[in-house]
């Protein structure tokens, strides 16, 4: 069967849809991928009139999307429906979270981790067999009734999953308002530069996370899969051999990828023996700089040193808030500030006393409606304890459907079902009006390498707060905010921010 898969990731990594393409190709299907990085506000039919020719003859269209890309997915779906009489299937994080809502636009939804389900569905559909019992799918029957099939078991042996599809001969990309064949130049142009500021191969070596933070898609997975099934296979790993083999394959094919990024929620969650095994094999066979995320509680010295020896140059850790209360009671992050400081002390020692050259970025979430002014003040004060050499990533809290925090915000009337609070590019919500103390926190971020702590202390003193909290919103947001911290979207793109609060 001839299938077209659409992907909207700005960086052209899109591992999930690339893997789906690979498993379909292994099953004998003819698959092309259409990558559509951000194309502005023009309707798609005015961007490339020849897109019809590119897609002629396809039997099925698949669209993979995160919630922040729902608007693009709806537009492409409308475009395809108006020009072709073929089924349109949505899959990925967003339709998994809201399958009923997604069926307002798509003909079929494939939910969850669906490598096996998508192949079974396509095989049966191509042969004219009854596909309605296939696991993971949701659809409306002939009477308009919603049908949701049970989820298949989560894949446990990740080594058996094929490498992502990077066959450029079957790929197209939207470039300069034209959908054109993807080549190495365009792949290099759009591929992710996060962690290194140059193109890097991104790979996920685990599925799952030790934490189930209420704002994160991991809580969506817990809410989607039966608890016993998910908890029993919460953390699943690729072997070191398979991981190294994949990276070797990718960089041999595309040498412009001069670094590696691991997109695992917590790369250090794996056992020490696996870290050591990976580090030895990576250093021997690859040796490129790499970046990863780590929960501070997992970042022990016996794991850190082999990773640094192997070439780790960037480590991203999640702080989220300087308030233990907020982290514990709202975000369900049971990670006290003491653990964060211990991890940062360890990292500082290895950088300055032991001479390893690497960067650290700390993730923070602002604009939480359950955050009190005392919580914000704790974040400001705690930020003063973070070593100045560490970078900050700032995220405005975004409510992603299916997460525990989204359900709470909906129940408490903070958001409504009629609005899409996730529709901006990831976490960037320009409509947010920050509190005075949040502006002080942003000042600390923006000027943290040269703004003296004494200045921040003065600005957070009771007299300064009494004045600041009475300042007109226009003055805070337009004069102070736009002058000092101009448009979170600009800063987010410059800092390479790609999601709402990493681990």
DSSP string, 308-335: HHHTEEEEEEEEE-S-HHHHHHTS----
Helices 373-383, 436-446: axis angle to 10 degrees equals 10
Residue 180, in any domain of the structure: no
Residues 291 and 426 both lie in one domain: yes
371 and 391 together in one domain: yes
Residue 54 has a pLDDT of 87
- Residue 175 maps to a domain: no
Average pLDDT over every residue of 66-88: 92
To 10 degrees, the CA torsion angle through 139, 144, 145, 150?
-10
In the predicted structure, residue 503 carries a pLDDT above the cut 70: no
Judged by DSSP in three states, 481 sits in helix
End-to-end CA distance of the chain: 40
Nearest of 136, 98, 93 to residue 115 by alpha carbon: 136
Let me know if residue 110 belongs to a domain: yes
- Is residue 275 packed enough to be buried (19+ CB in 10 Å), middle (13-18) or exposed (0-12)? buried
Closest CA to 438 of 340, 372, 353: 372
Burial 454-463 (b: 16+ CB within 10 A, else e): eebeebbeee
Between 288 and 419, where is the model more confident? 288
What are the residues whose beta carbons fall under 8 Å from the beta carbon of 129, sequence distance 6 or more?
A: 123
Token representation of residue 196: 């290194």
Angle at 313 between CA 354 and CA 346, to 5 degrees: 40
* Confidence at 223, pLDDT banded by 50, 70, 90: confident
Compute how many other C-beta atoms are within 10 angstroms of the C-beta atom of residue 163.
16
Helix, strand, coil share (%) of the chain residues, nearest 5: 45, 15, 40
293 with 343, same domain: the answer is yes
User: Two tokens at 242?
Assistant: 């398979």
Whether 194 contacts 498, CB under 8 Å: yes
Per-residue pLDDT of 412-440, as tens digits, reads: 998 888 777 775 544 444 555 678 898 88
Question: 128-147 b/e with 16+ CB inside 10 Å = b?
Answer: eeebeebbbbbbeeeeeeee
pLDDT of amino acid 178: 87
Do the Cβ atoms of 260 and 292 come closer than 8 Å?
no
Tokens of 42: 């023009």
Number of other CB atoms surrounding residue 416 within 10 Å: 10
470 or 500: whose pLDDT is higher? Answer: 470
139-167 pLDDT, tens per residue? 999 999 999 999 988 888 899 999 999 99
Residue the block writes with tokens 């300055």: 352
* Residues 342-365 pLDDT 10s: 999 999 999 999 999 999 999 999
178-181/171-175 β-pairing: antiparallel
On whether both 294 and 319 belong to a single domain, the answer is yes
Does residue 503 fall inside a structural domain?
Answer: no
440 assigned to some structural domain = yes
Q: Which backbone phi and psi does 344 adopt, to 5 degrees?
A: -70, -35
CA 185 to chain centroid, in Å, comes to: 25
Give me the domain span that covers residue 126: 2-160
Contact 108/137 with Cβ under 8 angstroms? yes
**Banded pLDDT at 485 (limits 50, 70, 90):** low
Contact partners, residue 369, CB within 8 Å, separation at least 6: 397, 409, 414
Q: What CA–CA distance (Å, rounded) separates 69 from 76?
A: 11
As a three-state string, the secondary structure of 125-194 is: HHHCCCCCCCCCEEEECCCCCEEECCCCCCCCCHHHCCCCCCCHHHEEEEECCEEEECCHHHHHHHCCCC
Q: How far apart are CA 268 and CA 298, in angstroms?
A: 6
Same domain, 368 and 461: no
Instruction: State how far the Cα of 466 lies from the Cα of 182, in Å rounded to an integer.
Output: 57
Give the residue from 424, 488, 415 showing the smallest Cα distance to 69: 424
Distances (CA, A) of 94 to 80, 110, 399: 19, 11, 12
CATH number for the domain that contains residue 144: 3.40.50.280
Domain assignment present for residue 231? The answer is yes
Same domain for 207 and 118: no
- Name the DSSP letter for residue 236: E
DSSP state of 353: I
Whose CA is closest to 111, among 94, 136, 147, 132? 136
Please give the structure tokens belonging to residue 469: 């909290």
CA distance 328 to 346: 24
What pLDDT, on the 0 to 100 scale, is given for residue 2?
97
Q: What is the pLDDT of residue 211?
A: 85
| 138 and 230 both lie in a single domain | no
Which pLDDT belongs to residue 45?
Answer: 73
Q: Which of 141, 160, 179 is the last residue of a domain?
A: 160
Determine the pLDDT at residue 490. 42
Within-domain flag for 27: yes
For residue 345, tell me if it sits in a domain. Answer: yes
76 plus 33 within the same structural domain: yes
Structure confidence at residue 226 as a pLDDT band (50, 70, 90): low
Q: What is the arithmetic mean of pLDDT over 55-59?
A: 93
Number of domains in the chain: 3
Domain shared by 224 and 368, yes or no: yes
CATH of the domain at 355: 3.80.30.20
How many other C-beta atoms can be found within 10 angstroms of the C-beta atom of residue 35?
26
12 and 56 co-located in one domain: yes
Q: Supply the pLDDT for residue 489.
A: 42
Instruction: Share the mean pLDDT of the chain.
Output: 88
pLDDT (tens digit per residue) in 389-405: 999 988 888 888 989 99
Q: Do 277 and 420 fall into the same domain?
A: yes
**208 and 67 in a common domain:** no
**DSSP conformational letter for 390:** S
Rg (CA), the chain: 23
Q: Residue 359 corresponds to which tokens in the numbers above?
A: 């960067």
Q: Which tokens belong to 122?
A: 């396509």
Confidence of residue 284 (pLDDT cuts 50, 70, 90): very high
Give residue 225's pLDDT.
78
């Amino acid at each position: 069967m001839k299938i077209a898969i659409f992907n909207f990731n700005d960086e052209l990594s899109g591992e999930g849809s690339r893997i789906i393409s690979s498993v379909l190709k292994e099953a004998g299907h003819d698959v092309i991928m259409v990558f559509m990085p951000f194309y502005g506000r023009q309707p798609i039919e005015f961007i490339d009139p020849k897109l019809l020719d590119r897609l002629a003859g396809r039997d099925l269209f698949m669209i993979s999307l995160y919630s922040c890309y729902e608007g693009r997915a709806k537009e492409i779906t409308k475009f395809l429906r108006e020009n072709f009489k073929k089924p349109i299937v949505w899959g990925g994080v967003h339709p998994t979270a809201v399958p009923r809502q997604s069926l307002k636009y798509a003909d079929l939804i494939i939910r969850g981790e669906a490598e096996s389900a998508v192949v079974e569905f396509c095989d049966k559909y191509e042969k004219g067999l009854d596909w309605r019992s296939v696991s993971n799918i949701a659809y409306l029957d002939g009477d308009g009734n919603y049908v949701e099939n049970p989820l298949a078991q989560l894949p446990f042996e990740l080594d058996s999953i094929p490498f992502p599809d990077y066959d450029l001969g079957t790929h197209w990309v939207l470039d300069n308002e034209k959908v054109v064949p993807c080549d190495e130049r365009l792949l290099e142009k759009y591929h992710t530069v996060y962690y290194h500021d140059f193109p890097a191969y991104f790979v996920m070596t685990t599925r799952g996370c030790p934490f189930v933070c209420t704002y994160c898609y991991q809580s969506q997975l817990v809410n989607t899969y039966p608890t016993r099934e998910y908890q029993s296979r919460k953390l699943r790993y690729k072997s070191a051999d398979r991981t190294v083999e994949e990276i070797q394959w990718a960089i041999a094919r595309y040498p412009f990828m001069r670094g590696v990024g691991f997109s695992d929620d917590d790369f250090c969650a794996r056992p020490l023996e696996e870290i050591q095994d990976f580090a030895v094999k990576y250093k021997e066979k690859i040796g490129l700089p790499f970046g990863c995320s780590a929960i501070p509680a997992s970042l022990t010295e016996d794991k850190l040193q082999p990773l640094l020896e192997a070439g780790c140059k960037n480590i991203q850790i999640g702080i989220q808030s300087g308030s233990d209360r907020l982290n514990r009671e709202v975000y369900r992050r049971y990670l006290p500030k003491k653990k964060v400081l211990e991890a940062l002390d360890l990292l500082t020692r290895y950088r300055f006393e032991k001479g390893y050259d690497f960067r650290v970025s700390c993730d923070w979430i602002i604009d939480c409606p359950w955050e009190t002014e005392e919580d914000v003040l704790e974040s400001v004060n705690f930020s003063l304890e973070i070593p100045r050499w560490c970078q900050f990533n700032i995220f405005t809290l975004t409510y992603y459907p299916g997460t525990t925090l989204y359900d709470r915000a909906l129940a408490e009337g903070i958001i409504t079902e009629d609005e899409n609070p996730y529709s901006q590019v990831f976490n960037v919500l320009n409509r947010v009006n920050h509190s005075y103390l949040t502006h002080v926190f942003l000042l600390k971020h923006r000027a943290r390498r040269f703004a003296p702590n004494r200045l921040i202390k003065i600005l957070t003193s009771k007299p300064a707060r009494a004045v600041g909290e009475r300042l007109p919103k226009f003055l805070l947001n337009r004069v102070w905010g736009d002058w000092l911290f101009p448009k979170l979207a600009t800063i987010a793109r410059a800092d390479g921010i790609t999601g709402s609060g990493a681990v």
